[in-house]
Amino acid sequence: MPRFAANLTYLFNEVPMFDRPEWARRTGFDGVELLFPYDQPIAEWERALDGMPVALINTPPGDWRSGDRGFAARPGQEDTFREGFLRAAEYAARLGAESVHVMTGVARGPQAEATLVENLAWALAQAPDLRLTLEPLNPEDMPGYFLNDFDQAARILDDLGAPRLGLQFDLWHAARLHGDADAVWRTHRHRVNHVQIAGFPARHEPGGGGFSLPALCDAVDGMENVWIGAEYRPAKGTAQGLFWLNALKSRGGLIGA
């Protein structure tokens, strides 16, 4: 059975942030995702997690309200990216995060791609024990984001050829970008090192969209150290909507098929 991580930015919003790891533990999750843990000191996170595994964190995005979405592909912002990456690597090391999602930022064109490739090579050299991910994001949720196509991401990954750099497969974004998330999975699953799930088309509890979650679980179960992160907006209370997690863990019937 694969490991499931609760994304604490999206789930358990009914309680304060530092209470959410314990709620995730109580309700059956194996670990958590922390998108942007940087507003709180590492020591406070360590106390709140109390040994709860961390599957993933993101690199610092910058000023979100002003439109920043990371810096890895932004020409002229190399120093900003590298300072932020080293901070992410410190948090990852202290919190035991298995992966860091490198946010490319709002950019476009060949120079942006060259900047991204250079920054990724630098990041891999700086953190030789850390696994990195790239995640294509759809333009409706993330306007102007550089990485907005799974084939584009695959080409960059293949060009770098780094075993510790892989594809973050988010069902929601795959469906929004390409229509057929199952086809995206079949094409790119060998590049995937982290998975995220949500329902389609409303991004509520996982299920729907013609994608078989049990089949995904079976596939991930055969992959090395790949987490399934729950990154969705609960339709009501988080705990009340965890039927999907209970069903997948007990294999009590197919959902999302």
For the annotated catalytic residues, the residue numbers are: 135, 231
Token representation of residue 198: 């949500």
Residue with tokens 């709860």: 52
Cα Rg for the chain, rounded, in angstroms?
17
- Positive or negative torsion for Cα 240, 243, 246, 249: negative
Token representation of residue 107: 């950019």
Cα–Cα distance list, 173 to 147, 150, 222 (Å): 11, 10, 23
Token representation of residue 142: 């993330």
- The Cα–Cα gap between 242 and 154 comes to 32
